[in-house]
Structure 1
Amino acid sequence: MLLYFTEYLILRKSLHVKDVKPPFEYRNVTIKTDENPADKYNILPELGRGSFGTVFLCKEKASDLELAVKIVTYKKKKEKTMMELEIDILSSLNHPAIISIYDAFDYGNKLYCFMELVQGGELFERVIDEDFVLTERACACFIRQIVEAIDYMHSKRIIHLDMKPENVLCLSKQGNRIKIIDFGFARRYDPHKQLQVMFGTAEFSAPEVVAFEEIGPWTDMWSIGVICYVLLSGLSPFVGADDFETMTNVSFAKYSFDYAPFEEISSTAKDFIEKLLIKEPTKRMKAKNALKHEWLTQLDCISESSHKDITLSLTKTKLKRYVILRRWRKAALSVMFINKLNKLSNSHLLNSC
């Protein structure tokens, strides 16, 4: 009983989303040209690598402010244009749950995007931590922040198009504030112009992306539905043995709640997911409507009945396995990519002899 009460107190504390003072005020950033960023910033150790660049820790010389900087080396105009679009979109966004941009440079065939430093790690890494009490209410708390940020983006006619667990970070390892990152695939949306894309992550891509049909704000909402399904169960609704099988599953848009982890999940949570994982895009719940859904609005009043919010032990176990498997897949893809580069390099050397 004492252990349960302790967990309950931790849960109550974890559900309170505190306002956190931003590290710097909002800035309307334009790309500086013919200025060496090294004059203003010290570039420190690497933090990680993505599809379109490498992220480093850095520090502003004048203020000692710690930041993250994404550096993209471009050889073609298309690569440069994509990064310029990402910087432009980030500069137009000002929301507590969206990564903030601080500065940008175009120097030496490289684009530098200086951003807020977020050190809490990926959302799924946070919730599988031994110290975190995973409950349905805690999941709803995270999802609501994501939906609030997406609703704000959509109000600005911006769609993210790559919503997945890796792109949702926690602001710190103790609190529950989140930040949406990686706007490399984000696009400005014009309802009068048809937009089609063929990129993203298969497991979280919407049926219209797989079918190369018109995309829009509804495309982000599908991805949120998948993230929510995984967060509540530790299972992925459409993942297959490879990307082709996954995309086939997505195109059919068939999934099930007939798994053990969902036995402890409320009908309102399942209803929330059902209103998002709809094949017909225009029938999906919009972000504004999602914020009014009972599953998210019940967070507004944390009553004494909160102690009935069950700890999702089975979900946490499966989430740990899910995170490990995703790490393996990413590592395998990295090895495949490196091997492909080596083969291309060797082929080039042989042809040049």
Structure 2
Amino acid sequence: MNLNEAGGSADLLEEMLELTSQNLTQMELKDHYSIIRELGQGSYGHVLLVIHRARGTPIALKLLRKKSTKLRNFLLEYCISLSVSSHPCMVGMFGIVFETKHHYGFAQEVASFGDLFSIIEPGVGIPEISVKRCALQVSSALDFLHNKGLVHRDIKPENILLFDKDCRRVKLTDFGLTRRKGTIVRPMSGTIPYTAPELCNLGSSEGLAVDSALDVWAFGVLLFCILTGFFPWETTSGSDTYYVEFENWQKNGKALSIPSQWKRFDNDILPMFQKFLAIEPTQRGPAIGVLEYIRLQWKVANWNLNGNSVDNSKFLDDQANVVDNEHFINGFQEGHNSTLSAKSSTRFRTFSSNLLQDDKWRNT
């Protein structure tokens, strides 16, 4: 059962929630699965790699603690995950949902190469060709989600799964915060670099109507992060010098010089970031607009932390890979057009502290 693109999606989602609730089965994990190891954990619960005893199928089981998870929120995450899993850039689902004594759980496909976070080298990022592959696939997933009237609300490297080491196949996962467009949300405790300014600057008693612009902002920050191995700022508020510098540049355009942390990018690609990271939400995106820039050079070839010239042979190799992989780009565009016509913690805190504690890169 899939959500419609039109307004009927809300009613259909409610129907899915009701049917899933009625069919939620009680089970003992050890009766059906052999537990191999833990894939991840967080405040929500944990994810286990298991083997289905009868079929021998490797499966990832996401288990959410009943003590800290409302049944409706669990059902919402499962139903949304199932509804969007038909898209090739969304994590696959097995249609298995259950509860144990202490957890709610569901089954999804295993990403054999972990997540995008695991391959980011602090201060370096990942190769530009891999960034572009991720950008193509994640933007397609977001476009699909947004056309269904849904907003992910948690775009970050940990929620992008890898199915090979070169990012030729990645998938968006973790729909625990996903809500319908227009849903009123409150600011969460603490902020992260991916949080858009309109949400970051909400008062504690204020609410914000969820919009796809929140995902577009996070997508822009994600691209910066995986291209460089740094965050552009710690928080999108007036207390962050680097965000204020960027905000002033956005608002005043050519009247100000390019902020130091953005000089690492080719001038032709800066408009892409300015669109995704527009201060005014209505001026952002959409994320699929990355297609316009995919064949351009993104990073300055001879730029380093000190502004000195460096060996650009690795960059040139990457650019050759872009040419060699024209079939990848063309195939993606054809597939995307076909889709339109037919109508994914502790690690984050460690990552954040490691990348933001050293500001020397910002001083060029």
TM-score bracket relative to the smaller structure: 0.5 to 0.7
Aligned residues with identical type, % of pairs: 26
Aligned to 1:267: 267
Aligned to 2:277: 277
1:84 CA displacement? 1.5
Change (3 A) 1:134 1:70: closer
Change (3 A) 1:165 1:262: farther
Unaligned runs of 5+ in 2: 1-16, 203-207, 250-256, 298-312, 319-346, 355-364
Aligned to 2:74: 83
Q: Which amino acid aligns with 1:89?
A: I
Aligned to 1:107: 100
SS at match of 1:67: strand
**Following the alignment from structure 1 to structure 2, what is the Cα–Cα distance between the partners of residues 92 and 268?**
37
Aligned to 1:235: 230
Aligned to 2:185: 196
1:207 maps to 2:226: no
SS at match of 1:202: coil
1:117 maps to 2:105: no
RMSD of aligned Cα (Å): 3.7
1:229-273 Cα deviation digits (max 9, x unpaired): 222233312216x9994699489845785437744x322322111
1:35 CA displacement? 3.9
**Following the alignment from structure 1 to structure 2, what is the Cα–Cα distance between the partners of residues 162 and 227?**
11
1:326 maps to 2:360: no
Unaligned runs of 5+ in 1: 1-27, 300-306, 313-322, 331-353
Aligned to 1:9: none
Q: Which amino acid aligns with 2:184?
A: L
Change (3 A) 1:217 1:127: same
Aligned to 2:157: 165
1:167-204 Cα deviation digits (max 9, x unpaired): 12211335531121221111122xxx452332385210
Change (3 A) 1:251 1:308: closer
Q: Is the Cα contact below 8 Å between 1:126 and 1:170 reproduced in 2?
A: no
1:87-140 Cα deviation digits (max 9, x unpaired): 1110101222211222110232420121111121232432539xx995434322
Change (3 A) 1:33 1:245: farther
Q: Which amino acid aligns with 2:269?
A: A
**Following the alignment from structure 2 to structure 1, what is the Cα–Cα distance between the partners of residues 133 and 268?**
14
Q: How high is the TM-score relative to the length of structure 2? A: 0.65
Aligned to 1:339: none
1:71 maps to 2:66: no
SS at match of 1:56: strand
SS at match of 2:88: coil
Q: Is the Cα contact below 8 Å between 1:196 and 1:209 reproduced in 2?
A: no
Aligned to 1:6: none
Q: How high is the TM-score relative to the length of structure 1? A: 0.67
Which of 215, 221, 228 is matched with 1:220 structurally?
Answer: 215
